[in-house]
Amino acid sequence: MESAAPAPLPPDPPGQPLLEGRVDLKGMEEGDLAALCQAMGEPPYRGRQLFGWIYARGEADFERMTDLPKAFRARLEGRARVGALLPERAEEAGDGTQKFAFRLAGGALVESVKIPMRPGGGRPRWALCLSTQAGCAMGCAFCLTGRMGLVRNLSAGEIAEQFLAARRTLPEGERFHNVVFMGMGEPLDNFEPSAAAARLLTHPRAGGVSARRLTVSTVGVASRLAAFARAAPGVGLAVSLHAADEATRGSLVPVNRKWGLKALLDACREIPLAERRRLTFEYVLLAGVNDSPEDARRLAGLLRGIRCKVNLIPWNPFPGAPFERPSPARVEAFRAELLRAGLTATVRQTKGLDIRAACGQLADEARLGGPPLPRAGARA
């Protein structure tokens, strides 16, 4: 009887190879793979072939890469590997949203979320929310992930592999229509791996998404905004504001103490935007905190002259947080003020609330301590 294939090793964590002497190819860009092949005495186009197998086809077994010479495959086996992740846990919400928990090398856990969007009630168009760090150092008051603190950064391979692992669960012939770096972590606090992963997933031969369909969300690391736009060209940026005055934003978003609203918005004006592209501003609405018509009018004034749209996010609750979710009428009144001011404003549809998969709810609950957080309606 044939023995079962060994479980794949996860991608290497940043700067810590799991297997000495064997380089992990997951996370390497096409040029890096071409250089590796040249160093092994092969023509550079072998790197393009490897790139296609790893990312477009999601293959981790060199023996199945059948357009590579057999002798080269054998040498790769001795010198390299392709890291892969298997979900430790998967939950499904009543609305079809799925949350995956991945155990990384070293024991850290990250979550990503696969979201069915049904415009017009037809077949779903899939979206995917990826994490760039285990935990987060930003400490936003309304975010459960921030209560973990920062556990560690993810490598480009670990970020990209979340996409590949989720893609393996898609129905035959379907793809992700949108990908967002909006899960656990602050992408600009993990700059190089996040930018490399964005380039990988938007590469035309990777089978990922177009740059127009990938959005990176940042709490507002003002000094790195323009640099990230240059490092991952064409990728969308979503900047989290969450308040229209310094005092309120400072109480909600600690990074505001380093880069206040003026510094942040000045940096936003310096972001190189392609023609017909807009910057997105995200705004979590908290009842009685930042959701008044006056707040909306102040926000509209701050954004005057910036080519942008505003994505309003009614707060997603978790136990122990000192906030409440505003009523739908309150949300719509806030949006109406923005529309009156000439801004484009949308309200994010809440998905996966019953399994804590909505915006701001991702966390390794074991690191938070206390009993497991309650859920309703989840399917394992």
Amino acid at 165: A
Q: Tell me which of 92, 111, 158, 161 is the catalytic residue.
A: 111
Got the DSSP string for 52-103? IIIIIS----GGG-TTS-HHHHHHHHHHEE-----EEEEEE-TTS-EEEEEE
Q: In this structure, are residues 133 and 123 in contact, taking their beta carbons and an 8 Å threshold? A: no
Is 111 one of the catalytic residues?
yes
Pull the structure tokens for residue 124.
């779903």
Residue with tokens 């807009």: 278
> What is the C-alpha radius of gyration for the chain, rounded to an integer number of angstroms?
21
- Strand, helix or coil for residue 141: coil
Euclidean distance between CA atoms 207 and 219, whole angstroms: 29
Decide if 37 is catalytic.
no
Within its chain, how far is the Cα of 325 from the centroid? 24
What is the arrangement of strands in the sheet containing 125-129, beginning at the earlier edge strand? 87-92, 98-103, 109-117, 125-129, 176-181, 214-218, 236-240, 279-285, 308-314, 344-347
In 93-246, where do the E strands start and end? 98-103, 109-117, 125-129, 133-135, 150-153, 176-181, 214-218, 236-240
Choose the catalytic residue: 129, 140, 268, 359.
359
| DSSP strand pairing (23-24 vs 80-81) | parallel
Please answer whether residues 50 and 32 qualify as being in contact, where contact means their C-beta atoms are separated by less than 8 angstroms. Answer: no
The 10 Å Cβ neighbour count of residue 328 is 10
Return d(Cα 213, Cα 174) in angstroms, integer. Answer: 15
Who's near 334: CB < 8 A, 6+ residues apart?
A: 285, 291, 292, 293, 295, 296, 312, 326
Q: Catalytic residues, which ones? A: 111, 359
